[in-house]
């Protein structure tokens, strides 16, 4: 029995698919005007562990992940972002490219990074810019049902008209004060209530990304894109919706209001949200320079799958604190696992006891850290290596750590040496070149105390972690 924590009911529940063995699942995808960072990828990894766990339980998953390639903010003037340029358009102007070129450049990188992390490909990555027609259709229905209103070419959702508002986030209409506090202070003066949100915005003068609509030229709001694309590919009601916890309000709350308002049916049965990723216990921010990408990790010598391994160690709902030391630790553990598995005999029979416990762990709201500890228990157990090999290949369908290629992988995964140790190694090298062997040996001991052994080989220096 698979149990999942459902944000909507605030309970851990048994998962029941609408049409088993089929499962329809939607994940809010990236905004593609800049690199997708490791915090975003933690959320996509959570969705991947979920999808693989469903597949391990013999469900057949249809997974949709959208690409947000429409700028949702106004280029100039009065919007949430107080007159800043829309990020997609800003980036395009800065680089002398069209918004489309910027979006496709970052989409490419995103898809490559997903591949590096062994994230299973979604069945479809629909682009918002190619679904404006569907968004307009839903807005038309909402207007007809009087759940939305128009003011001079801009359409707002009338939040007060939707009785079930707040079911996901708890920001309900009867707690109006809380609700008003939860929405960003808005400078849009043409709406009835400040909690109302835009479904369609009138295009301002000189705007690059604009579409024709019954209300004149404009562009869609952000929330409506997920409603339009999820309903188009998964139906009015579908099984699972995932995203980062920062999307619960207002994004997902507003998705529910628009979708249920338009269709009159329940939108999603299970909502799953991934916790934040902090860097050195701080929020990631571009001004602090701690927004890391997968290529930043690679530049420092880390295998991208080390980050996958690291995310397995913290429950998806908990805050995860990323540090380079933690990643070094994960790389060492991952390397050891690969080395062990590469020595094993050909797979045969399997270890039923460990497989059972592994299944129970992943089915307990994706308790991946427990699953990983069961893997290590099995690795260290006295079972024949052929049996362990059989089981680990099964488990790796969920873990996604390339363990079937352990022999090949062994060669590519290195020990990552911290910068402080690298400096000592370089110092020792120059001492040796100058003939100061006593001083060089002294440094070798110092490095050893830090946990690294230096070997002088014909090819150069090799470093191993003790």
Where does 134-208 show beta strands of DSSP type E?
Answer: 148-151, 154-157, 197-202
The closest alpha carbon to 131, from 262, 28, 232, belongs to: 232
Q: Report the distance separating Cα 148 and Cα 130, nearest Å.
A: 23
- Considering the complex, state which of residue 28 and residue 277 has its C-beta at the smaller distance from Zn ion: 28
Q: Which range touches Zn ion (CB under 5 A), out of 32-40, 91-99, 225-233, 295-303? A: 225-233
Q: Report the distance separating Cα 331 and Cα 184, nearest Å.
A: 41
Number of residues near Zn ion (by CB under 5 A): 2
- Considering the complex, state which of residue 116 and residue 201 has its C-beta at the smaller distance from Zn ion: 201
Of the residues 143, 224, 226, 417, which one makes contact with Zn ion according to CB under 5 A: 226
- Considering the complex, state which of residue 31 and residue 57 has its C-beta at the smaller distance from Zn ion: 31
Q: Any contact of residue 413 with Zn ion (CB under 5 A)? A: no
Shortest Cβ 399–Zn ion spacing (Å): 27
Q: Would you call 343 helix, strand, or coil by DSSP? A: coil
Shortest Cβ 241–Zn ion spacing (Å): 8
Shortest Cβ 251–Zn ion spacing (Å): 6
- Considering the complex, state which of residue 162 and residue 302 has its C-beta at the smaller distance from Zn ion: 162
Q: Which range touches Zn ion (CB under 5 A), out of 157-165, 224-232, 404-412, 437-445? A: 224-232
Q: Report the distance separating Cα 382 and Cα 326, nearest Å.
A: 29
Shortest Cβ 28–Zn ion spacing (Å): 3
Q: Report the distance separating Cα 345 and Cα 342, nearest Å.
A: 9
Shortest Cβ 229–Zn ion spacing (Å): 9
Shortest Cβ 61–Zn ion spacing (Å): 18
Q: Which of residues 24-53 bind Zn ion (CB under 5 A)?
A: 28
Q: Which residues contact 457 (CB under 8 A, 6 or more apart)?
A: none
The closest alpha carbon to 92, from 66, 125, 69, belongs to: 69
Whose structure tokens read 């069945």?
A: 123
**Hey, CA dihedral for 108, 109, 111, 116, is it positive or negative?**
positive
- Considering the complex, state which of residue 247 and residue 320 has its C-beta at the smaller distance from Zn ion: 247
Whether residue 242 contacts residue 28, with contact meaning beta carbons closer than 8 Å, is answered with yes
- Considering the complex, state which of residue 62 and residue 151 has its C-beta at the smaller distance from Zn ion: 62
Whether residue 7 contacts residue 271, with contact meaning beta carbons closer than 8 Å, is answered with yes
Q: Any contact of residue 224 with Zn ion (CB under 5 A)? A: no
Question: Which residues is 148 bridged to in the sheet?
Answer: 157
- Considering the complex, state which of residue 238 and residue 452 has its C-beta at the smaller distance from Zn ion: 238
Q: Which helix (H) or strand (E) holds 407?
A: helix 406-412
Contact residues toward Zn ion (CB under 5 A) are 28, 226
């Amino acid at each position: 029995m698979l149990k999942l924590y459902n944000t909507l009911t605030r309970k851990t529940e048994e998962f029941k698919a609408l049409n088993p063995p089929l499962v329809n699942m939607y994940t809010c995808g990236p905004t593609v005007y800049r690199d997708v960072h490791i915090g975003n990828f933690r959320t996509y990894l959570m969705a991947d562990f979920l999808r693989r766990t469903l597949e391990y339980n013999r469900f057949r998953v249809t997974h949709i992940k959208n690409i947000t390639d429409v700028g949702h903010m106004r280029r100039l003037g009065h919007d949430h972002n107080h007159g800043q340029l829309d990020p997609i358009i800003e980036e395009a102007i800065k680089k002398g490219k069209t918004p489309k070129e910027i979006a496709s450049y970052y989409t490419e990188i995103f898809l490559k990074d997903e591949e590096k992390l062994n994230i299973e490909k979604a069945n479809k990555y629909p682009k918002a810019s190619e679904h404006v027609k569907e968004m307009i259709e839903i807005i038309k229905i909402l207007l007809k049902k009087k759940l939305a209103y128009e003011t001079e070419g801009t359409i707002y959702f009338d939040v007060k008209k939707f009785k079930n508002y707040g079911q996901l986030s708890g920001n309900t209409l009867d707690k109006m004060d809380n609700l008003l506090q939860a929405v960003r202070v808005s400078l849009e003066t043409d709406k009835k209530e400040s909690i109302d949100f835009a479904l369609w915005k009138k295009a301002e003068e000189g705007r690059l990304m604009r579409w024709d609509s019954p209300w004149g030229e404009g562009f869609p709001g952000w929330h409506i894109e997920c409603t339009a694309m999820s309903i188009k590919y998964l139906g009015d009601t579908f099984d699972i919706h995932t995203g980062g916890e920062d999307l619960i309000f207002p994004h997902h709350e507003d998705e529910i209001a628009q979708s249920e308002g338009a269709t009159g049916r329940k939108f999603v049965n299970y909502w799953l949200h991934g916790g934040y990723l902090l860097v050195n216990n701080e929020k990631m921010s571009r001004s602090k320079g701690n927004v890391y990408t997968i290529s930043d990790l690679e530049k420092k010598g880390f295998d991208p799958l080390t980050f996958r391994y690291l995310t397995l160690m913290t429950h998806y709902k908990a805050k995860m604190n990323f540090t380079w030391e933690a990643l070094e630790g994960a790389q060492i553990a991952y390397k050891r696992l690969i080395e062990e598995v590469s020595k094993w005999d050909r797979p045969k029979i399997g270890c039923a006891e460990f497989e059972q416990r592994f299944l129970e762990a992943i089915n307990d709201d994706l308790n991946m850290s427990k699953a990983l500890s069961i893997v290590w228990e099995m690795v260290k157990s006295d079972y024949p290596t052929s049996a362990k090999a059989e089981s680990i290949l099964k488990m790796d369908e969920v873990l996604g750590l390339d363990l079937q290629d352990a022999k090949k992988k062994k060669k590519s995964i290195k020990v990552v040496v911290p910068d402080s140790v690298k400096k000592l190694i370089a110092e020792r090298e120059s001492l040796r070149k100058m003939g100061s062997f006593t001083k060089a040996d002294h440094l070798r001991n110092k490095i050893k105390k830090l946990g690294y052994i230096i070997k002088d080989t014909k090819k150069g220096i090799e470093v191993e972690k003790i």
